[in-house]
Structure formats: C-alpha cells, structure tokens
Amino acid sequence: MIASSGLAGSVALVTGASSGIGAATARALAAEGATVALVARRLDRLEDLAREIGASGGSALTLEADVTDLAAAEYVMTRTVSEYGALDILVNNAGVMLLGPILDAPVEEWQRMVDVNLLGLLYCAKVAIPHLLDAAENGPRGAADLVNVSSVAGRVARRGSGVYNATKHAVGAFSESLRQEVTGRHVRVSLVEPGAVDTELSSHNRPEVLETIKERFADIERLHADDIAEAITYIVTRPWHVAINEILIRPTDQEQ
Ligand SMILES: NC(=O)c1ccc[n+]([C@@H]2O[C@H](COP(=O)([O-])OP(=O)(O)OC[C@H]3O[C@@H](n4cnc5c(N)ncnc54)[C@H](OP(=O)(O)O)[C@@H]3O)[C@@H](O)[C@H]2O)c1
C-alpha cells in the first residue's frame, strides 16, 4: 500500500524505469506519494509496473521513448507536465554498460554508450530544467531535484571499462557544472554512483566480456536495485535547504 506522504503532490519522471534501478526507484518514489512518469523503450514492462503502482494506490504514466532522441525527450517532459501540471523530480537513470578492452571494442558499442549514458542524459536534463526551475520557484517543496545516475566507474577508471568510464566521468563533470548553475534557484543536482548492483545491465555484453564480469563479481554480494532506490529517495525527500550533492555506494565486499 502507498503509505507515506513525503512526496505527496510531487511529480517524478524516471528514465530507464523498465528494469533494475529505475523500476525500483519509481516504486520507491510512488510509495512516498509521488506521481511517477515511467520512461523506457519496453512499453510492456512499463505497463506492468504502472499497474503494480496503481494497485498499491499510486499513480503512474507510461511513456515509451528512446532518450537518445531529443524530440522524444522533449515529448516525455511536455506530456508529463501537461498530464500532471508540473515536474518536480527527474531521475536520469537510463544507461548501458558495454565493457571490454578498448583495443578489441566494436565502435558501435561506444556509440551506444555515448548516445544513451551521455547524450540521452544531457537531452533529458536540458528539456527538464525549465520545468524543474518552475517547480522550485512555484511548487510547495521550495526545491526541485535532478538526480543523475552515474557509477563508481564515474569515479575510478579501470582497465576493461574505458568508454563506460568516460561516459560516467562526463556525467560527473556535467552534474557539478549544472549544479553550480541552478542551485541558487533551488534546483538540486545530485550524483548517485553505485558499485555493482544485481540488475540486467551486464547481460547485454558480448559472451567473452560477460564471462570476465561474472568472474570479477563471483565472490561479491552485490547491491540490490532497492538499495539505490532508497538512496535516491533519501536525496529527494530532504528539506529544501539540504542538497545531497553526491552519493557513492559500493557493496561492502567490493574493493574497487
Ligand atoms: N547495475 C549496476 O551494477 C550499476 C552500477 C553502477 C551504475 N549503474 C547505472 O544505473 C543505471 C541503471 O542501470 P541498471 O543497473 O538498472 O540496468 P538495467 O536493468 O539494464 O536498466 C537500464 C534501463 O535503461 C533503459 N534504457 C537503455 N537504453 C535506453 C534508451 N535508449 N532509451 C530509454 N531507456 C533506455 C532500459 O530500458 P529499455 O531497454 O526498456 O529502453 C532499462 O530500463 C545505468 O545508468 C547504469 O549505468 C548500474
């Protein structure tokens, strides 16, 4: 049952809500009373989640979109605002992680990561900002939130994840620059940097890469998507004068 009212009256849009961290975050924000707009390409998954949220007493809108398309990013923001009247929270979470040595990499994998992890995130931020500024100025919370999901890979580069590292480091740089630009107008820009989380993220890798990833994490109890959703919920439920700029969360077993 939707019990808490910490975000009652707020509208949150979550990209990459069809699985993993995004789906868990949408559930968690809905449980705090937010109305949630669910964005991803797999509409059937979004509809299942929207039904689940609805059955718990919440309200969700499904929006099938590819965030690498600027027009689609514009559409999901304007559709959300026209449906619900505002946008208070954007969780910029959609991402892909295609690992392996730089020397052997198919360039298409780099293009996909730059397109989704970086350009898609930038597009969504760009089209959301006017609505977030409006919510911060005129909404009841006195602040609005833009949460960018990066990674421990955005803090520490490792052999075998060069271009994923590059996209996530870029997300960190962009977030800090944008934070300085809008924090005075009460849009809080936050960076969340998970370590290994048990989701379908790594499943899109080539078989030989997948084997290496499995070996690396074989002895590690990975985080659950809900662990990250809890951190994001913490960020967006602070009083207006508290801005959580950055959270790095690793599994206890993960050394680097
Ligand atoms: N799992 C980890 O260990 C881990 C660690 C650190 C950071 N992260 C970050 O956490 C975020 C979420 O990852 P996850 O672990 O939850 O993986 P996931 O379960 O694979 O979820 C990725 C989400 O991104 C969406 N997506 C991918 N391409 C998209 C596109 N072009 N347009 C719209 N949506 C798109 C997917 O939906 P559709 O396929 O339906 O479009 C899916 O909902 C990513 O940014 C990832 O880099 C994950």
In the predicted structure, residue 22 carries a pLDDT above the cut 70: yes
Predicted confidence band of residue 5 (pLDDT cuts 50, 70, 90): low
Predicted confidence band of residue 2 (pLDDT cuts 50, 70, 90): very low
Which member of 84, 123, 164, 234 is catalytic?
A: 164
Choosing from 76, 96, 98 the residue with most ligand 1 atoms within 8 A of its CB, the one to mutate for a pocket test is 96
Tokens of 152: 């421990």
**Residue written as token pair 């790594």:** 202
Rounded distance between C-alpha atoms, residue 166 and residue 136, angstroms: 31
* CA-closest residue to ligand 1 atom 36: 16
Indicate if ligand 1 lies below 6 Å from the C-beta of 199.
yes
Indicate if ligand 1 lies below 6 Å from the C-beta of 50.
no
Indicate if ligand 1 lies below 6 Å from the C-beta of 203.
no
Residue 123's closest CA among 69, 183, 168, 177? Answer: 69
In the predicted structure, residue 25 carries a pLDDT above the cut 50: yes
pLDDT in tens, 212-248: 999 999 999 999 999 999 999 999 999 999 999 999 9
Taking all residues of the chain, what is their mean pLDDT, rounded to a whole number? 97
Dmax of the chain from CA atoms?
52
User: What pLDDT sits at residue 64?
Assistant: 98
Instruction: Give the distance (Å) from ligand 1 centre to CA of residue 149.
Output: 9
Helix (H, G, I), strand (E, B) or coil at 239: coil
For the question of residue 75 being annotated catalytic, the response is no
pLDDT in tens, 47-97: 999 999 999 999 999 999 999 999 999 999 999 999 999 999 999 999 999
User: What pLDDT sits at residue 198?
Assistant: 97
pTM above 0.95, yes or no: yes
DSSP string, 111-168: HHHIIIIIIIHHHHHHHHHHHHHHHHHHSTTS-EEEEEE--GGGTS--TT-HHHHHHH
In the predicted structure, residue 1 carries a pLDDT above the cut 60: no
pLDDT in tens, 159-216: 999 999 999 999 999 999 999 999 999 999 999 999 999 999 999 999 999 999 999 9
Predicted confidence band of residue 104 (pLDDT cuts 50, 70, 90): confident
Instruction: Give the distance (Å) from ligand 1 centre to CA of residue 12.
Output: 17
In the predicted structure, residue 4 carries a pLDDT above the cut 70: no
User: What pLDDT sits at residue 256?
Assistant: 84
